[in-house]
Chain A
Amino acid sequence: MAAAATTNDSLSPLMTRIANGEREALRQLYQATSAKLFGVCLRILSDREESEDVLQDVYVTIWRRADRFDGARASVMTWVSTIARNRAIDRLRARGPMAYAEPVDELEIPDGAESAEALLSAADDRSRLAGCMSELDDRTQSVIRTAFFEGVTYEALAKRMDAPLGTVKSWIRRGLAKLKGCLQS
């Protein structure tokens, strides 16, 4: 998956230039990816102002860490999306325990239209993952999605679902093992 992404990755040359300190390259990456990453921040934080702060932080992080980007391991889009998601989740966690008091609902992810910058390989990955996710039972799907989009810990998930910690843990671990098996087949 990562290898396919590398060969098709039109954004990859920008990363080398960014690592060399070229602001213009970062600006181009911003133009190509900021709408996507802003969407990611908004999806996780549901707050415009916080999402702007996080997005700002994300591009400064990209600038600082560009030299660690490895095209053989991930596509640029995956790499920057991971940074955006992690930063947004950090921010969510910083809101404190109250952020986790909400019940599990709204787990459905809105289906967006194909974005212009989406790579062909990314589209493949997405549909494969969506296909494999749909093979999991509803409860497992929902805990995996909640964890992914909200960075909710096992402890908090167990509390929310009123289930023993060990049980939630085994739902997720089994779900992840199935996902991996499905993605490899």
Chain B
Amino acid sequence: MSEAPDLSEAEAFAAEHALGVLNARERAEAEARMAREPAFAADVEAWRSRLTPMLDNIEPVPAPEGLWPRIERLLPANMGGGAAPANDNSASLMNKVRFWRNTAVGGFALAAASLAGVMVQVNQPPVVVEKQVPVAPQGQLLSASVVSQEGSRVQPLFTAAYDPDRKALIVTSLLPEGSDRDKVHELWLIAGQDNPKSLGLVESGKAKIIALPTELMAKMSEGAALAVSIEPPGGSKNPNGPSGPVIGVGKLSRL
């Protein structure tokens, strides 16, 4: 091959990013530049297209049977049939939940430590230790990890994320799918001295986006807590709160 002209500095950098030889700092720089400079982003894309055919010689390997159901479970809830627009929005929320869910499981000790003040024993009524006057109640992203405790054993049960922009709470059950078939899990908001407010039922192993009315949004603040109780199908028969045992509680905190 005869001598090829050198790539411009910008294109060389784009090519290096597409190839994958940049270190973490340079990669971050390249990503930032792609976001700012469409021409640079196009260079990176062009180089990806040039290099990706290297993957074409790789032998396909059938993915394991159970993988698709696992993926489907991770997709945003209630999005079937194109009924809801903008899956990017819902999906990025779900992604946040996945992050928290991983944190709840992986960074478990940390989550347990930060929630030590609000854990309750099975069958005991939930007690919210701290009571705070909400400041800018609708303005901040909040998350909670709902955990159970038996003796020293702390178990994350649910993660929840509140997004004020979406006026929604996204709840992910960390329990195995299909557990507790003849019972349901009901989610409660416990704020101040009010009776617990039902936020609806959550299926084991599923994620759910719960739209919040304004009155409940006003109560979503740091220091309020989420609790989960075990109820008969259809939910609690008690109008003022859970009728079954409360299995876990978690305080809402700012991210």
A binding-site residues for B, Cβ under 8 Å: 1-2, 17, 19-23, 26-27, 30, 34-40, 42-43, 52, 55-56, 59-60, 63-67, 73-74, 78, 81-82, 85, 89, 109-113, 115, 118, 122-123, 125-126, 128-130, 133, 135-136, 144-145, 147-155, 157, 172-174, 176-183
Contact = CB atoms under 8 A, between A and B. Distances in A.
Contact of A153 (B12, B22, B56): B22
Given A147-B19, A172-B16, A180-B50, A27 B56 contact: no
A112 B19 CA distance: 22
A120 to B, nearest CB: 12
A123 B53 CA distance: 8
Contacts of A110: 57-59
Contact of B48 (A52, A82, A152): A82
B48 A176 contact: no
Nearest to A127: B53
A26 B176 CA distance: 24
Contacts of A22: 80-82
A128 B52 CA distance: 12
Q: Which of A64, A74, A85, A151 has the most CB of B within 10 A?
A: A64
Interface string B228-247: 00000000000000000000
Contacts of A42: 61
Given A35-B61, A39-B61, A180-B4, A145 B71 contact: no
A176 B95 contact: no
A112 B59 contact: yes
Contact of A35 (B20, B23, B60): B60
A91 to B, nearest CB: 13
Contacts of A144: 19
B4 A39 contact: no
B217 interface: no
Given A56-B67, A153-B21, A78 B49 contact: yes
Q: Which of A19, A23, A151 has the most CB of B within 10 A?
A: A23
A115 B60 contact: yes
Nearest to A154: B21
